[in-house]
Amino acid sequence: MLAPPVVVGEQLPEGYPTKSEALKFIKAYEAKFGPRSMFASLAWDALKIIEAAVPKALKSGQPGTEKFRAALRDAIEGTKGLKGAGSVFSMSPTDHSGVNQLGMSLMKVENGKWKLEDHADLK
């Protein structure tokens, strides 16, 4: 199965770009809600993108104004290299997912648990 690397965060090799943020998400989520959810990690990453974009947008206007909304959109579309739990995000006006091969890992179920089979080549 192809899924976000956060599903097997502990199995990612040291230095993998999303490992640190994946482990933060896993620790926080599982402490409060139990077994991790790759869907919850998508919300975590969306909030990380917003956390990075809002301070930039606030320089252009107050929340609720057209200037702020346009600046927020521009800041989100300008996201480059943001390390989330599930991917490294680089967005643009024509790419609103911002996900590349770092957001996908090949895994299988072995003895009832997810096992990392392969991950994005970091070369």
The Cα-based distances of 9 to 33, 52, 67, 88, 90 in angstroms read 17, 23, 39, 14, 21
Q: Is the pLDDT of residue 123 over 50?
A: no
Task: Output the pLDDT for position 41.
Answer: 95
User: Cα(85)–Cα(101) distance, rounded to whole angstroms?
Assistant: 14
**For residues 80 and 95, what is the distance between their CA atoms, to the nearest angstrom?**
11
Band (101; pLDDT cuts 50, 70, 90) = confident
What whole-number percentage of the chain has pLDDT above 90? Answer: 78
- In this prediction the pTM is 0.87
pLDDT at 121: 61
Name residues whose C-beta falls within 8 Å of residue 63's C-beta, 6 or more positions apart in sequence. Answer: none
Q: Which domains, and CATH codes, for the chain?
A: 2-118 (3.40.50.2300)
pLDDT tens-digit profile of 63-72? Answer: 999 999 999 9
Question: Which pair of structure tokens corresponds to residue 115?
Answer: 């096992």
- The three-class DSSP label of residue 82 is strand
Residue-wise pLDDT for 72-97, tens only, equals: 999 999 999 999 999 999 999 999 99
Name the CA dihedral angle for 122, 115, 14, 38, rounded to a multiple of 10 degrees: 80
Looking at the DSSP assignment, which residues form a beta bridge with residue 51?
Answer: none
Q: pLDDT for 37-70, tens place per residue? A: 989 999 999 999 999 999 999 999 999 999 999 9
